[in-house]
Amino acid sequence: MRVDFWQNRSVLVTGATGLLGSWLVGELVDQGAKVTALIRDRIPFSLLFSRGLDRRIASVSGEIQDYPLIERTLAEYEIEIVFHLAAQTQVLVANRSPVSTFESNIRGTYMLLEACRHHPLLKSVIVASSDKAYGEADVLPYDETTPLRGVHPYDASKSCADLIANSYAQSFGLPVAITRCGNLYGGGDLNFARIVPGTIRSVYQGERPVIRTDGTLRRDYFYVRDAVLAYMTLAERMLTANAKGTAYNFSSDVPLSVLEITAHILKAMGREDLQPKILGENLGEIKDQWLCAQKARAELGWAPKFTLEQGLRETVDWYTHFLRGTRTAASG
């Protein structure tokens, strides 16, 4: 990335209180960008607030589906670059509440893109899709030519948003690029139903971690700081290369089973004696799913900077500090 690229750039980040959004905002402001964040709910433990990042940015309160609000935000803050991360991201929530998921992930995407289409200062939009947009495929790893065939509510919502983004690029010339990442992990993810934070919390409490499936499902586990650099690299290249409608996979290229990522966490925490409890539940999830990131490496010159061991070490350190703080607060 160019050292001075982000200096005084006007950037909108939707989904700024999420795991990726919080880390992205932090990196953008550190590099001198003028960041505006769209925030639906104030989440006190989000890194956006716990790191004081909210005091270094402009914030707009509201829903991503609110077209007049998005249009006003783009105009008044003179936005040049948009990172669209706002979404309902939890698979189990999507299964319980598909309508709200479709409202956020699908309607929210086309409302944002329609507002962007009419904003004359816009230079690029990065839309966060997901590896789940591919659905289930026979050939692994998934590359960018793999058809989008999401079936379950969350997967289908990401397939739709992905296709809509490409439609705006091809039909209206909107400068949109699409990202598809593996399973993100890193400090600040407070959804303890996910395997990485859930395992770390169990081990910190001296308990055996719980694996809901049979532990054989294989996924990419992609460190959030690598994802931030991937998004920013893509946004920079959007201004110098013809990437409209282009999708890029970003991943570590190292698929791991649930049992394997759990073992890595236990090793990082020095508690390999705490063998996991395996529930063997059938949650209707895709068995094996991981990405090929060769296109991003070749066309963008991007590569992960952190090994799995480095990413997990930083992640364990963050949660240890966080959990120690919450325990102290509870006892005080």
pTM above 0.85, yes or no: yes
Beta strand pairing call for 218-219 and 256-257: antiparallel
Nearest to 261 by CA among 191, 182, 323: 182
Please return the burial class of 63, using the count of CB atoms within 10 Å of its CB with bins 0-12, 13-18 and 19+.
middle
| Three-state secondary structure call for residue 99 | helix
Helices within the chain (DSSP H only): 19-30, 47-50, 67-76, 91-96, 98-102, 108-117, 153-172, 195-204, 224-238, 258-268, 294-300, 308-331
pLDDT band at 281 (very low <50, low <70, confident <90, very high): confident
Query: Do the beta carbons of residue 288 and residue 140 sit within 8 Å?
Result: yes
Question: For residue 25, is it within any domain?
Answer: yes
pLDDT at 90: 80
Structure tokens at 310: 């480095």
Active-site residue flag, 154: yes
pLDDT at 328: 61
| Stretch among 55-64, 86-95, 166-175, 287-296 having the lowest mean pLDDT | 86-95
| Angstrom distance (rounded) from CA 110 to CA 106 | 7
Question: For residue 239, is it within any domain?
Answer: yes
pLDDT band at 327 (very low <50, low <70, confident <90, very high): low
Per residue in 35-80, pLDDT (tens digit) is 999 999 888 889 999 999 999 999 999 999 999 999 999 999 999 9
Question: For residue 330, is it within any domain?
Answer: no
Indicate whether 307 pLDDT > 60: yes
Per residue in 78-117, pLDDT (tens digit) is 999 999 999 988 877 888 899 999 999 999 999 999 999 9
pLDDT at 1: 63
Indicate whether 332 pLDDT > 80: no
Question: For residue 87, is it within any domain?
Answer: yes
| Three-state secondary structure call for residue 112 | helix
| Angstrom distance (rounded) from CA 100 to CA 75 | 28
| Three-state secondary structure call for residue 291 | strand
Query: Do the beta carbons of residue 241 and residue 270 sit within 8 Å?
Result: no
Question: How many helices and strands, by DSSP H and E, does the chain display?
Answer: 12, 14
DSSP state of 288: E
Q: What's CA 112's distance to the chain center, in Å?
A: 18
| Three-state secondary structure call for residue 41 | coil
Amino acid at 87: A
Nearest to 161 by CA among 135, 183, 123, 130: 130
Question: What's the structural domain count of the chain?
Answer: 1
Q: Hey, how many other C-beta atoms are within 10 angstroms of the C-beta on 325?
A: 11
pLDDT at 218: 95
Question: For residue 181, is it within any domain?
Answer: yes
Question: For residue 121, is it within any domain?
Answer: yes
pLDDT at 43: 83
Domain extent for 145? 10-185+221-253+289-305
Residue entry with tokens 């070490």: 313
Indicate whether 245 pLDDT > 90: no
| Angstrom distance (rounded) from CA 11 to CA 14 | 10
The active-site residue, picked from 154, 168, 248, 319, is 154
Residue 21 belongs to domain with CATH number: 3.40.50.720
Q: What's CA 41's distance to the chain center, in Å?
A: 17
Structure tokens at 283: 């949650």
pLDDT at 330: 54
Using the Cα atoms of residue 239, residue 242, residue 243 and residue 244 in order, give the sign of their dihedral. positive
pLDDT at 138: 87
Whole-angstrom CA distances from 157 to 25, 124, 216, 315 are 25, 22, 26, 29
Structure tokens at 284: 């209707």
**How many CA atoms lie within 13 Å of 12's alpha carbon, on the beta-carbon side?**
34
